[in-house]
Amino acid sequence: MKALCYVGPNELAVKEKGIPEIGPGEVLIKVAYAGICGTDTLAYHGGMTKRTKPFVILGHEFSGTVHEAGPSSSFQKGDRVTVEPITSCGECDSCQRGVYNLCTVAFNLIGIDSDGAFAEYIKVPESKVYPLGDTISMQAGALIEPLAVCVHAVEKGNISAGQTVLVVGGGPIGIITALTAQQRGANVFISEINPYRIQVAHQLGFEVLNPTEANFLDQIHEKTRGCGVDAAIEATGTNNGIVTCIEAARTKGIVVIAGLPKKKADFDVYRIIAKELQLVGTRVYMKEDYDQAIELLSSGRLDLNSLISKVVPLEEAIVKGFEAIDNGEDAIKILISISNEDEKL
């Protein structure tokens, strides 16, 4: 099979690899679509060398069809599915407390720590396979993983109807987080400086504020009657983003840090003390977040298709996918087409 592999820092290649052989409790999936994530680009540029080793197949956001399953499996060949791509040890303190997303012994993200979905086939534990049902397209199915990330972040922010929320960053995670919070009845603002992302956010009906404007915080306070937002979600991984969230949050507000930091943050801790803020981290997702993400899409309450900027074939994913992102091409989400099955539901 063909697979897009990490070769080393700043080097990817499409290589021929053997089709994985499944063992007990595993399922072989024929991949339909896979999304390029910020974590993939970070690994591509050598930002995860402690975890991502040469010739690992990247990709952890994907949809596909079951190609092979064991005799006692609940899945059959042809079933349309997506996958929760994290596995854990099941034995450490975090796992024993039911928070396996925080596993401290054997946390594994498919496509980073082990072979992923930028390939024609992938084998995964059956326990991590979720049916797509009949209403979610294969392309939308490849967005369930990032949607679950956002569902988890919104949960960590305790966001509910009637609250005001600021999402800092209008990239894929920021936009989907904003849509998820909006689904809960929150009034959501987005902070963004990129013209294309601002345009997309406006098309989705969000009010966008520019954090580089001198009166940015004045605008926040004007729109919240001088109080600040109930919850601020950081989705850029920047120091400025964290500072913006801290300053925009109301007293006893919640700041959720969802963006992966590029370097150590530097901010005024006193501002957190003075406002008695809750500063909360959020890491990937859990089963209930996946269930909720699938329900949001299958029910039609959330439509993410407009966020798919383009779809590229596997052979062109390096130039038209990764390099396009590096060059700042206008895009929210780029999908890699692997098998093209069931493209239009």
Residue 33 phi, psi (nearest 5): -135, 150
> Is there a domain that residue 343 lies in?
no
How many domains does the chain fold into? 2
Expressed as residue numbers, the domain containing 208 is 149-281
CATH number, domain containing residue 113:
3.90.180.10
Q: Is residue 85 part of a domain?
A: yes
| Residue 105 vs residues 72, 91, 109, 118, 200: alpha-carbon distances, Å | 30, 8, 13, 26, 40
Amino acid at 143: L
State whether 101 and 177 are in the same domain: no
pTM of the predicted protein model: 0.96
pLDDT tens per residue across all 345 residues of the chain: 999 999 999 999 999 999 999 999 999 999 999 999 999 999 999 999 999 999 999 999 999 999 999 999 999 999 999 999 999 999 999 999 999 999 999 999 999 999 999 999 999 999 999 999 889 999 999 999 999 999 999 999 999 999 999 999 999 999 999 999 999 999 999 999 999 999 999 999 999 999 999 899 999 999 999 999 999 999 999 999 999 999 999 999 999 999 988 789 999 999 999 999 999 999 999 999 999 999 999 999 999 999 999 999 999 999 999 999 999 999 999 999 998 655 443
Structure tokens at 193: 């400086």
| 298 lies in some domain | no
Rg of the chain taking only CA atoms, in angstroms: 20
First to last CA, the chain: 26
| Whether residues 156 and 128 fall in one domain | no
Determine the angle formed by the axes of helices 216-223 and 239-248, rounding to 10 degrees.
Answer: 40
Tokens of 269: 């801790």
Amino acid 330 reads D
Which of 304, 284, 337 lies closest to 110, judged by CA?
284
